[in-house]
Amino acid sequence: MSEVRLQEVPDPTPGTFCWVELGTSDNDAAKSFYTQLFDWEYTDNPMGPDAVYTMLKLDGKDIGGLYKLMPDMVAQGIPPHWMSYVAVASADESAEKAKAAGATIMNGPLDVFTLGRMAVIKDPTGAVFSIWQAKDNKGAGAYGAPGFLCWNELATDDPDKAGQFYSNVFGWTTQGFPGPIEYTVFNNGDKGVGGMYRITPEVGSVPTHWLVYFAVEDCDAKVQKATELGARVMKPAEEIPGVGRFAILTDPQGAAFAIIKPQPHQ
């Protein structure tokens, strides 16, 4: 996570996380929660007769999106969740590559108006993510600043299989860090783009998933504010030596996310 810092992201390199998106059961309540927690602003965009896609912003820069889960998604048992998007040069080629590497293509590839082309993919260990081929929309407007996405993390029961899959699809290399929980950093070229750890009995009964991290200036104060706004603490604030102080929360609708106050760079 040493890469956590502000940087402009005008044109994300293929293989980097470029967007996050909240699917929720109550978009008005979710907007109220996140705007109060992170001082985000939002713009609602009608997407047909009954659908609205909300753009989340901070200081005029796009952070991610928010939408209400469709009835068919709810019927499939899809809970409120944050989705992580990886930038790709070609959604079709990357989807084919993912399928050949053992993934399930859940949706797409499909065009999102003139904004870009996307697909939703379940990796061979069960974690779901999306890919984004940018057209008019390049993705988030910044990375690593307080209130913005700063890390994406995979919890999986088979790190070897997952590591091989993402290396095959995105060309990521893996770098292991020993510790109480063995941690792997995914590198895209010379840049750390995400992390991975094994779900062990100590971690608990957790499904395989990608988790989004937002940078904050004060982890403990944000945890307190989040709980006052109706969030639940999944992992209390804790220091990671050399990295920062983080906590994992679920919003009032049940979507999990993490916050971290990164340690300043030496």
* DSSP characters over 163-180: HHHHHHHH--EEEEE-SS
- Is residue 206 scored above 80 in pLDDT? yes
Report the CATH fold assignment for 1-266.
2,3-Dihydroxybiphenyl 1,2-Dioxygenase; domain 1 (3.10.180)
pLDDT band at 9 (very low <50, low <70, confident <90, very high): low
221's CB contacts (< 8 A; 6+ apart) are none
Can you tell me which residue has the tokens 């001082």? 39
pLDDT at position 1: 44
pLDDT tens-digit readout, 25-72? 999 999 999 999 999 999 999 887 778 999 999 999 999 999 999 998
pLDDT tens-digit readout, 218-254? 999 999 999 999 999 999 999 988 889 999 999 999 9
Q: What is the value of pTM for the model shown?
A: 0.93
Alpha-helical (H) ranges within the chain are: 27-38, 71-75, 91-100, 159-170, 219-228
**Which residues make beta-bridge pairs with 7?**
143
Residue type, 181: I
pLDDT band at 135 (very low <50, low <70, confident <90, very high): confident
DSSP strand E in 164-262: where?
A: 173-177, 183-188, 191-198, 209-215, 232-240, 244-250, 256-262
Phi, then psi, of 31 in degrees rounded to 5: -60, -40
Number of DSSP helices (H) and strands (E) in the chain, helices first: 5, 18
Indicate the domain borders of the chain: 1-266
Give mean pLDDT, residues 132-143.
88
